[in-house]
Amino acid sequence: MADTAPRRRSRASAGLPPITAEKIIDAAVELTRERGLDGWSIRQIATRLDVWPGVVAHHVGDREAVVMGVTDRVISRIPVPGEDRPWRDWFRSMMVDGREVLRDYPGVARRLCVVGPNVPSALPTIDTGIRVLLAAGFGAEAPVVYRYLFNTAFTLVAVEDDRRHFPTARADMGRAMAAFAEDDSLPGLAVAGSTARTRGTDPEDIAAQETEFFLFTVERSLDGAEAMLTSR
């Protein structure tokens, strides 16, 4: 729908259902999927719902309140594994599934890393994740390990979100590195260039490389946490 002024008739007189906080968050979630968390305004939400901006404020609050609602809704869509799973499996599943959900809503991953998961739907997940780490033997360090693992994974998702504004950046970088493949005077760059030559530069190839690097980072972060257990 174009961003035009809403009708002046009341919803009741127009035979439309009443506006609720849930419907406002629904609209904001869809706008986040389309434009990113920073890509919409209260007025645009109101336009989509065919109401005045004051209606959004009345039912939900200011833009920050709506953002909290969107964040809460998105986090609630991340599947939470059973507490009986081994700790590595539990966190691997949460990070991988979390990426799949968060990539559909650009900007939410950055919000989680910068502000924190301070919404109701995140609290049971935090509790379960820390209990999984306590059961594994992390003791008092369980909360910081929880934060380390999720920040590591979701910071990468935030970078992937930002990279959408530079659609050719990865391919351009790959071609630039490939130019050093046979430069014996720069052996480090030569190795990087040789690797770059083996990788494609079309969007599907780039997407596969992003996933590969994400999974690599997940495993190495889990290795780092496991090393803490070994040292204990």
pTM here is 0.88
* CATH number corresponding to 81-165+202-231: 1.10.357
pLDDT at 4 over 60: no
> Could you tell me which residues come within 8 angstroms of residue 72 by beta carbon, excluding any fewer than 6 positions away?
119, 120, 121, 122
pLDDT at 8 over 60: no
Question: How does 134-163 read in b/e, with b if 16+ C-beta sit within 10 Å?
Answer: eebebeebbeebbbebbbbbbbbbbebbee
pLDDT at 14: 64
For the segment 148-181, what is each residue's pLDDT rounded down to a tens digit?
999 999 999 999 999 999 989 989 999 999 999 9
pLDDT at 10: 61
For the chain, where do the domains classified as CATH 1.10.10.60 start and end?
21-74
pLDDT at 166: 92
Q: How confident is the model at residue 29 (pLDDT cuts 50, 70, 90)?
A: very high
pLDDT at 230: 87
For the segment 96-149, what is each residue's pLDDT rounded down to a tens digit?
999 999 999 999 999 999 999 999 999 999 999 999 999 999 999 999 999 999
pLDDT at 12: 59
Mean pLDDT of the chain: 92
pLDDT at 17: 77
Express as a percent the part of the chain with pLDDT over 70.
94
pLDDT at 201: 84
pLDDT at 1: 47
For the chain, where do the domains classified as CATH 1.10.357 start and end?
81-165+202-231
Output the six-digit token pair for 11.
Answer: 């919803």
Rounded CA separation 56/131 (Å): 38
Record: fold of 21-74: Arc Repressor Mutant, subunit A (1.10.10)
Express as a percent the part of the chain with pLDDT over 90.
84
Rounded CA separation 25/155 (Å): 25
For the segment 181-228, what is each residue's pLDDT rounded down to a tens digit?
999 999 999 999 999 999 888 989 999 999 999 999 999 999 999 999
